[in-house]
Structure 1
Amino acid sequence: MFILALPGLLLLALAFNDGLGANPAEALTRQSGEWALRGLILVLLIRPLQVWTGWGAWLRFRRASGVAVFVYGALHMLCWAWFEQGLDWADLVNDIAKRPFILVGVLTLSLMLPLAITSNTWSLRQLGGLRWKQLHRLVYVCAPLAVLHFFWMREGKQRFTEVWIYGGLLAALLLWRVHAARRQAQGKRTS
């Protein structure tokens, strides 16, 4: 699971060695958000990898990967709140109201919070498998919201290449999931 921390450790090393460019605050904010989005795509890729390879161990990485996504998302939000708004609550609320992509980002991270909190065996037992699974399906809401956040943020800069890449990967993974769920439902009806 150490590999999940590597991007964060690299960012810290770059920050302490003046390796983040002319605007290190912006670089930290941007990079932490992009790593959260990349991680979210990775989390959604784990199940297809398990099915395609037949290697069940992939699933062991899913919960830790999800928590890492939340940590990168929280770091992204903290960087915005601290570096751009000086942790001033009035400025934070004003910026959220003024820029819809920030509202979507805050909403996405808020929806990810219960997933991060319950990504442990104790919570799985307390909630029961079915309720835990239903709760964790929120990831299918969070992922499109994260891409929308990224799209609206990039809209002002007219730089969409990465947005289309992440959006395309997400669309493919969600379509795969819908197809897999339909196949599973058909299998239950024929049994």
Structure 2
Amino acid sequence: MRYPWLRLAIFAVGCLFPGWWLYEAAMNLLGPDPGKILMDRLGLGALTFLLVTLSMTPLQKITGWAGWVVIRRQLGLWAFAYIVMHMLAYLFFILGLDWGQLAVELRKRPYIIVGTLGFIGLLALAVTSNRYSQRRLGARWKRLHRSVYVILGLGLLHYLWIVRSDLREWAIYACVGALLMVLRVPVVSRVLPRVVRGRGRGG
């Protein structure tokens, strides 16, 4: 296995935050509604891991270091793990496992439907992230995994719908996502690495 220490560090970071948040909840440090705080933090954690995952390919092209791409799958699976925990927190702490209430919530809060679509998309990517699926699907695998940008858009829309009154934090995530999409444009993807490496040699 390549870069085992880097993989171990990512695993430790992925486990650290939920563990710390649970500790804060157990110590009554999350205020009067710890379940909602946990749910919100897990959702933002999923969005953060997704953005970090999408930054791996541009970083590899700019720096030439293959390690970025090697850890990309692991980061993507952490994004999926966090979104699963986010949804479980919603089911346990917000709905109290009352499935009848779910239909009411879907009518009152359509952003839940948007979030669920994003979850389904991430589930499809997680299930097919292995080498067997890559060989089995062939060219269709790349087309499927390009849908990650659609999933990112759904996640940002879901988040926007929730924080309509305060867009400052949402704007940071949206700008990072927009930058990553721009870096996927073929012209930018080809030219930027040459420009950056040229400046590095010039320095």
TM-score range, shorter chain: 0.7 to 0.9
Give, in angstroms, the shift of residue 120 of structure 1. 1.5
Partner residue, 2:162: 153
Partner in structure 2 of residue 114 of structure 1: 124
| Aligned match of 2:50 | 40
Listed as ranges, the gaps of 5+ residues in structure 2 are: 1-9, 192-203
Name the aligned partner's letter for residue 124 of structure 1: Q
Is the 1:101–1:149 Cα contact (8 Å) retained in structure 2?
A: yes
Change in Cα spacing, 1:39 to 1:77, as seen in structure 2 (3 Å) is same
2:103 aligns to what?
93
Q: CA separation of 1:119/1:181 partners in 2, compared to 1, >3 Å: closer, same or farther?
A: farther
Alpha-carbon separation, structure 2, partners of 1:116 and 1:47:
18
- SS where residue 95 of structure 1 aligns? helix
Question: Residue 64 of structure 2 is aligned with which of 39, 51, 54?
Answer: 54
Seq. identity, %: 40
Question: What runs of 5+ residues in structure 1 fail to find an aligned partner?
Answer: 185-191
Q: What displacement does 1:147 show?
A: 0.5
**1:76 aligned to 2:86?**
yes
Match of 1:172 in 2: 179
- RMSD value, Cα: 1.8
Give the 3-state SS of the residue equivalent to 1:66 in structure 2. Answer: helix
Q: CA deviation at 1:180?
A: 5.0
Alignment partners' CA distance in 2, 1:4 and 1:20: 20
The aligned length equals 181
Cα separation, partners in 2 of 1:127 and 1:29, compared to 1, 3 Å: same
Structure 1-normalised TM-score? 0.87
Partner Cα separation in structure 2 for residue 182 and residue 69 of structure 1:
24
- After TM superposition, give the deviation of residue 182 of structure 1 in Å: 7.4
Correspondence for 1:188: none
1:162 and 2:162 are equivalent in the alignment: no
Scaled by the length of structure 2, the TM-score of the pair is: 0.83
**1:90-122 Cα shifts (integer Å, max 9, x gaps):** 211221122121111111101111111111222
1:29/1:76 contact within 8 Å kept: yes
In the alignment, which residue of structure 2 is the partner of 1:30?
A: 40
Aligned to 2:28: 18
- Candidates 134, 137, 145, aligned match of 2:143: 134
